[in-house]
Structure 1
């Protein structure tokens, strides 16, 4: 399975499935959910809300509507009650369940954001390490391409550093220069 860290707006990414950084209520507010809602239209909000609430770490699937994907997998890494904070366990479970769900749907490509690391307040570097570990340890059936997406320059640099992808890029660039 190919795996890379990319930068951009998740709502513009072509893939079989896009993962949404969701809360357990599956209400689509700001951040990743807001970007997906703006790209897909209000139908995605209506469908997601009907499928919620879900347990912490669980996923629900909706159509992708106006997005360049077939599915949106809503991965509930944060609760929508109490303090709303994500945990290492909720991020790990949501990531694993999103990967398994995409595989079960027969998806060949999945774009996944830093689940639980935005409004849910989990440290980005720590969350990226957890997500990276789950992706690297996942043994796919159908999945061939997983892209860990970051929006801003700062988030992209932090995710690349936490996943070791920055060092890999530097090694590749260095080996080209050595030729």
Structure 2
């Protein structure tokens, strides 16, 4: 499927669903989770924890609270305090896309799940994510955006996305 690469703060994006880079406990710490939790208000982390734990590569969906979205899809690419793997990134990405599609979402913003604190090589992880998104066949999703926070990350994601799309 078609997707675009954007740069910014995921918590400031407008979409039907935003994806949180989660761990299997769904406890929201720093990074993407921290940005979402700060902008959404106190209900988001409480609801997320109540929906956990989930399996590695699994997802759980919560309300988006004060974010400009209907849902937050928490995609668990790592165990608490552990590291992500190629398989967990692939599964979490696929499951996040499938969950948003099942919720009849048209738009989704997806960070580089499993590539930050989870310790997986950024470029390799982004390639997995781009491959999964590129090969996904949605029923409702028409607007998928991969988001990068920093200039360097944006350049890497944009380059990898261009390579994957051929």
Give the TM bin, normalised by the shorter chain: over 0.9
**Structure 2: gaps spanning 5 or more residues:** none
Q: How many residues align?
A: 166
* Alpha-carbon RMSD: 1.6
What is the CA distance between 1:159 and its match in structure 2?
A: 1.0
Larger radius of gyration, structure 1 or 2? Answer: 1
Under a length normalisation based on structure 2, what TM-score does the superposition of the two structures give?
Answer: 0.96
Task: Provide the rounded CA distance (Å) in 2 between the counterparts of 1:141 and 1:164.
Answer: 24
Cα shift at 1:19: 0.3
The answer on whether the counterparts of 2:2 and 2:134 sit within 8 Å (CA) in structure 1 is no
Tell me the TM-score normalised to structure 1 length: 0.90
Name 1:172's counterpart in structure 2. none
Give, in angstroms, the shift of residue 119 of structure 1: 0.4
**Deviations for 1:127-160, whole angstroms, at most 9, x for unmatched residues?**
0100000000000000010000000011111111
- Partner of 2:39 in structure 1? 39
Within 5 Å, give how 1:10-25 maps onto structure 2: 10-25=10-25
Task: Show the counterpart of 2:104.
Answer: 106
| Deviating 4+ runs (over 6 angstroms) | none
Say if 1:126 and 1:162, in contact at 8 Å, map to a contact too: no
Structure 1 unmatched runs, 5+: 169-179
Q: 8 Å contact 1:18–1:69 — kept in the other structure?
A: yes
Q: 1: distance between equivalents of 2:66 and 2:3?
A: 25
